[in-house]
Amino acid sequence: MRPQQTPPRMSTNHTTVLVVGAGPTGLTAALTLLKNGVKVRIIDASAETHDAARGTALMPRTQELLEILGAIDEVKAVATGPLQMAVYGEDGTTILKAFEWSQGVPPSPTTPYANIASISQSEIERILRLHLGKYGCQVEMGTKLVGLTQDSTVVSAKVLVGDATEATTITADYLIAADGARGISRRLLGVSFLGETKEDARLWTANVQVPGFSRQYWHRWGDFATMATSLKPITTSAGGGDWFQMLTLGPELPKDIPRDLAETQTLFKAISKRSDLVFADVRWVSEWKANIRMADRFSVGRVFLAGDAAHCHSPAGGQGTNTAMMDAFNLAWKLALVAKGKAAPTLLDSYEAERMPVVAEMLSLSNELHAKAFTHIPSTAFTTAAGTVTDDPMVRSAKMLQLGVNYRWSTIVRDKRDLEQEAPAAERNRDAYVAKGNVVCAGDRAPVFSGLLKLVRNSPSHVVLVFPGPLGSTAGLDELKPLVDADLVRIVVVAETSSAEVRDAQVVAAARTAYAIDADRDVFVAVRPDGVLGAYTFSVAGVQKYFKGLGVVM
């Protein structure tokens, strides 16, 4: 049972939501809450921000969420598309093959982002902090969580600020724990972190500066059966256009990993056979070991785990940052409604119910890709190797773009067509990454026709798309006025009429096709703040039932 609604508090050290951790997860959650008018404080234990190139692939679904948050333009300004991967032969200079390692999707009027955008995590964080600042919110760096208690109405967090030895208490109606796999929040809550650590699966990474080297490809040398290394062009807050992310793995990776410029150069030369490529600088040297785990629950009372605090996995597949940001968005829009007293606290139960099956499937997919790279299979790099490009350990299928991630089993989505009424929830959970079938269902990603993301971004909460039937009437919409007046919905008529908000013939046609609109009846589609199709129904009453299912307080 969820805690009771929080009464108003006046303490100067009280906030509505305290976010612990200022990585992409915490920043996304904070920005979503601020956008919805919720008071937020966000703290991070680090004394300063970093410029490391971690989590460098933004999936199309994440790009859509960033557009909803109003941050996509800054991302586009610094991100690049998925460069081809160039695989070099044994001499280190001859390119044996160059291939598309990330499989996109065909261009579509309802898929504005068809492939990944390469951008360093530090840049994502910088952009999100910039947008937090527009709401007057700054990350409180050097603020470390050391204690956590809660009751039915409030969370109390003890923090150490800077070099202080005496803890300060911050109270909050709710707390989002986004402090990573090694963070303290999960341990303070007593939540189990189930999974395994694979000590023999090691990855060494660093940011290296290589003046004058081509940025046309993601460059790769070596053999996965022994050691392989790569240089991926990146943009970092350190500036300059000569930076690359160096990734090295294989059973012959030295136990004593490189720690400085000279050692890094030596390792690279040993694998690549390239003495002409001279590193000018190296930063953020790190070793990763496979630690693949998921929390046994994503919330305890008024505290919610998100991102790496709730799950950690192999970097294979580039799902980590993207999954974490989707966690944050899924939670934050619901938390905003509850915190503002517009929905019952029971709505928050759907966070774990929706995200846990998705994360479980993500872990399974990442493990498959991890096995391809870390089980020491013969390399496909050289002409003597068997296999096609699709057999290459680095190839990522379109499934990893997260466009098929769905919540069809969720108890808070409503589809009047009952397309899957015979399939039990456990069966549908197994399809969390693939929206099967040719017809969009409630719980799926809402097809994004031109202008939809802008409508969602500029709406107080949900967007209800109205597709009038053959009579072209919008009678009855006045019955939704209480939802409109409560800033819960924005009603958008999609039709080729002068009074419709969306009336361009091509856009209307694309939308009707994407949403499988039956021309013989009125159709109402509720699009959630996270771009998910919340309801597909044929009446105003159906829309009202959907919001009743959310626990909306009128």
State pLDDT tens for residues 488-510. Answer: 999 999 999 999 999 999 999 99
- C-alpha 335/C-alpha 39 separation (Å) is 12
Residue 273 one-letter amino acid: K
Q: Is the torsion defined by CA of 309, 312, 315, 318 positive or negative?
A: negative
For the chain, domain boundaries: 14-77+117-193+292-364, 406-549
Least confident piece of the model among 6-10, 278-282, 435-439, 488-492? 6-10
Report which of residues 489 and 394 the model is more confident about: 489
Once rounded to an integer, what is the mean pLDDT over residues 239-248? 83
Q: Please write down the HEC assignment for all residues of 206-272.
A: EEEECCCCCCCCEEEEEECCCEEEEEEECCCCCCCCCEEEEEEECCCCCCCCCCCHHHHHHHHHHHH
Once rounded to an integer, what is the mean pLDDT over residues 2-29? 81
pLDDT at 288 over 80: no
| The CATH number, out of the four listed (3.40.50.720, 3.40.309.10, 3.50.50.60, 3.10.580.10), of the domain defined by the range 14-77+117-193+292-364 | 3.50.50.60
Model confidence pLDDT, tens digit, residues 41-72: 999 999 998 776 665 789 999 999 999 999 99
Task: Give counts: helices (H), strands (E), the chain.
Answer: 13, 22
Once rounded to an integer, what is the mean pLDDT over residues 513-519? 93
Report which of residues 476 and 542 the model is more confident about: 542
- Going by pLDDT thresholds of 50, 70 and 90, the confidence category of residue 286 is confident
Q: DSSP assignment of 336-402, as one string?
A: HHHHTTSB-GGGGHHHHHHHHHHHHHHHHHHHHHHHHHHS-PPPSSSTTS-S-GGGSTT-B-GGGG-
- Going by pLDDT thresholds of 50, 70 and 90, the confidence category of residue 432 is confident
Across the chain, what does the average pLDDT equal?
A: 88
pLDDT at 383: 45
Residue 360 CB coordination number (10 Å): 14
- C-alpha 475/C-alpha 495 separation (Å) is 14
The answer to whether the CB of 499 falls within 8 A of the CB of 493 is yes
Least confident piece of the model among 16-20, 381-385, 518-522? 381-385
Residue 177 CB coordination number (10 Å): 32
Residue 290 one-letter amino acid: A
- Going by pLDDT thresholds of 50, 70 and 90, the confidence category of residue 385 is very low
Model confidence pLDDT, tens digit, residues 314-372: 665 557 789 999 999 999 999 999 999 999 999 999 999 999 999 888 777 665 655 55
Q: At what angle do helices 60-68 and 320-339 cross, to 10 degrees?
A: 30
Please name every residue paired with 205 in a beta bridge, in sequence order, or none if there are none.
Answer: 247, 286
Once rounded to an integer, what is the mean pLDDT over residues 95-105? 87
pLDDT at 387 over 70: no
Three-point CA angle 13, 16, 17, nearest 5°:
100
Provide the whole-model pTM.
0.90
pLDDT at 391: 64
DSSP three-state, residue 193: strand
- Going by pLDDT thresholds of 50, 70 and 90, the confidence category of residue 132 is very high
Looking at CATH, the fold of the domain delimited by 406-549 is given as: Glutaredoxin (3.40.30)
Q: What is the dihedral of CA 508, 513, 516, 519, to 10 degrees?
A: 60
Please name every residue paired with 465 in a beta bridge, in sequence order, or none if there are none.
Answer: 492, 525
Residue 150 one-letter amino acid: Q
Model confidence pLDDT, tens digit, residues 396-411: 667 778 898 999 999 9
Run of H or E residues at 319: none
Q: Which residues contact 538 (CB under 8 A, 6 or more apart)?
A: 416, 521, 522, 523, 524
pLDDT at 485: 95
pLDDT at 107 over 90: no
Once rounded to an integer, what is the mean pLDDT over residues 159-187? 96
Report which of residues 92 and 234 the model is more confident about: 92
- C-alpha 523/C-alpha 6 separation (Å) is 37
